[in-house]
Structure 1
Amino acid sequence: MKLSDWLIIIGLGVIWGGSFLFNAILIRELGPLSISLGRVGVAALGCWAYLIATKVQLPSDWRIYAGLTLLGVINFAIPFALFPLAQNYVNVGVAGIVNATTPVMVVIVSHFWPGGEKATPAKSIGVAIAFIGVAMIAFPALQKGGQSELWAIGLMMVATLMYGIALNYTRSFKQLNPTLIATITLTGAAIVLLPFSLALEGVPNIQTAESWGALLYIGLVASSFTFLVVYRILGRVGATNMSTSTFIAPISAIFLGYIVLNEQIQPVHMFGMLTIFVGILAIDGRLFKLMRLPKPAA
């Protein structure tokens, strides 16, 4: 793979890591549903601008719009609300670390998905290792009886499960233009979120410039821009190489949380992150290659 592709993947990981910092800024003024609505709404506008500029044709079948709207709710609306909600109780770095379990959830969901890829012994070992890492992250909360923090970790795990479901569901739309998929899913997510957000949290009221900047970042940069870049290079670099961005995002989140918000990460959190990474390496077989061990038989 070209050096330029690796630099793009690293850049994506840094950008996605930054989204947890800006969630932490936005949650000071907005509720989680308003944050999710703002993110998908701004991202949808960015994707519509690109779709119109590139003259992508819209389908006429209403079932495509219904299916893509459901995908948008699963992949965007729910996770984008759960992470800010959880970040009321955990810091930026922990959120970034838990998000790194997404590839693990993909493996679990794929195993049970109709026509999905069944988990091999190697992948099962990787899943087990990754969940040990999650347990390590939760250990400080267990020690001090921090029920809120445990619930927050659980909510973030549900969000990564949503990502796993969405990735498998996305295969149903592989015949569609990727830009169209991104645009309609984000738009559908915004339409579904709007009544719930207004009913439960009222009209969003952003009063500070830093919150406006945070919203524009997570909407245009961390969502609209990144999705369009991913769809452009995914066919060239492959899903496995693309997934390595999950190694970068937690590092970016931890660094930004420390520099901007002066957040501290406990050593056990770092060990948990490393354990999750080892699990991911085992899932795709790289761990066995690095150790020069045969992969467990399928």
Structure 2
Amino acid sequence: MSTRDWALIIFVGSIWGCSFLFNAVLIRELGPVTVAAGRVTIAAVASWAVFFVLRKPLLRSPKLYFQLGLLGVFSYAIPFTLFPLSQSYIPSGLTAIINALTPIMTVIVSHFWLGGEKARYNKAMGVVAGFAGAALLASPALAAGSGNGQLWAIGACLIATVLYAITLNVARSFRDVEPTTIATVALTGAALASVPVALVAEGLPHIEHAETWAAWIALGVFSTALTFQIMYRVLPRIGATNFASNTFVTPVVAILLGMGLLGETILPVHVAGMAVIFLGLLLIDGRILNFWGRRVPA
């Protein structure tokens, strides 16, 4: 890959790492459903601005609008609710580490998906390593008992990664749709679905602090609209495996921000779990086996 592509991967990973800090700031005043609803709504408005500036054509099929909108509900609205909900019980850095399991979940779903990519031995080894890392992450909560909500929060994060994995496979059916259109319509569908739910479940938001507004806008514009615009443009050029390298950056940034700005504590066992998950990602990628002389089939 070019230096420019690596810079974009690091940039996207860093911004997604910041999103966990933004969530932590937002849940001080807002409920998790409201956080997610505001995030996708702000991102949808920003994406429509890009859509019209770039003069992209509108879709002609009502069915396609509905399908992309439904994709947005499951790939944006629900996961974006689960992560801030989990951060009420576990540190933002730990949430980001669990999010790094997304490529591993994608391997599992793709293997059983109709027409999906079958897992080779290196990917199977990566899945095993990934779940071993997840077990390490959950071990402190298991030792302390589940009454503190940590196990529930870890489970919610895992559900979000499964949803990401499923929607990545569903998104393949929209390969003929222009990338900007996919992101814009999907985010709009997520907003239309999540805003009424947020109003019913949590009421109108009451914000007293300026940093809450700043975090909400940054989360919607930068961590969502901007990053997805970049992602859909970079993916066709470098491929999903190379782009997934951003998962090495995201939890590191989230941990450093959580410890430095929020005073969060990450236990050594959490760091060990992250290391094992990263090993799983390297095994899935295949490069670590190639480095040791065991060639992984393309």
The TM-score with structure 2 as length reference comes to 0.97
Unaligned runs of 5+ in 1: none
Partner in structure 1 of residue 220 of structure 2: 219
Superposed, which structure 2 residues align to 1:77-226 within 5 Å? 77-147=77-147, 148-226=149-227
Partner in structure 2 of residue 44 of structure 1: 44
AA partner of residue 63 (structure 1):
K
Residue by residue over 1:174-215, the C-alpha shift from the partner in whole angstroms, topping out at 9 and shown as x without a partner, is 100100000000000100112211111111222211110110
What SS does the corresponding residue of 2:89 show, helix, strand or coil? coil
Residue 144 of structure 1: how far off its partner (Å): 1.2
Residue 287 of structure 1: how far off its partner (Å): 2.2
Q: Once the two structures are aligned, what percentage of the paired residues are identical?
A: 49
Q: Is the counterpart of residue 3 in structure 1 residue 3 in structure 2? A: yes
The TM-score with structure 1 as length reference comes to 0.97
What SS does the corresponding residue of 1:206 show, helix, strand or coil? coil
Distance 2:292 2:16 in 1: 30
Residue by residue over 1:54-88, the C-alpha shift from the partner in whole angstroms, topping out at 9 and shown as x without a partner, is 11111121110110011001110000000000000
Distance 1:179 1:274 in 2: 35
AA partner of residue 2 (structure 2):
K
Distance 2:9 2:26 in 1: 26
Distance 1:102 1:288 in 2: 21
Distance 1:236 1:88 in 2: 38
Partner in structure 2 of residue 275 of structure 1: 276
Distance 1:221 1:164 in 2: 22
Root-mean-square deviation (CA, aligned residues, Å) is 1.2
Distance 2:175 2:220 in 1: 24
Partner in structure 1 of residue 34 of structure 2: 34
Partner in structure 1 of residue 288 of structure 2: 287
Moved more, 202-211 or 77-86: 202-211
Contact 2:38–2:195 (Cα < 8 Å) also in 1: no
Residue by residue over 1:125-153, the C-alpha shift from the partner in whole angstroms, topping out at 9 and shown as x without a partner, is 11011000000011111111144101100
Residue 121 of structure 1: how far off its partner (Å): 2.2
AA partner of residue 258 (structure 1):
M
Distance 2:3 2:60 in 1: 41
What SS does the corresponding residue of 2:5 show, helix, strand or coil? helix
Partner in structure 2 of residue 232 of structure 1: 233
Unaligned runs of 5+ in 2: none
What SS does the corresponding residue of 2:187 show, helix, strand or coil? helix
Distance 1:204 1:291 in 2: 54
Distance 1:294 1:233 in 2: 26
List structure 1 runs of 4+ shifted beyond 6 angstroms.
Answer: none
Moved more, 231-240 or 272-281: 231-240
Number of paired residues? Answer: 297
Residue 294 of structure 1: how far off its partner (Å): 4.4
Distance 2:105 2:207 in 1: 34
Distance 2:293 2:216 in 1: 46
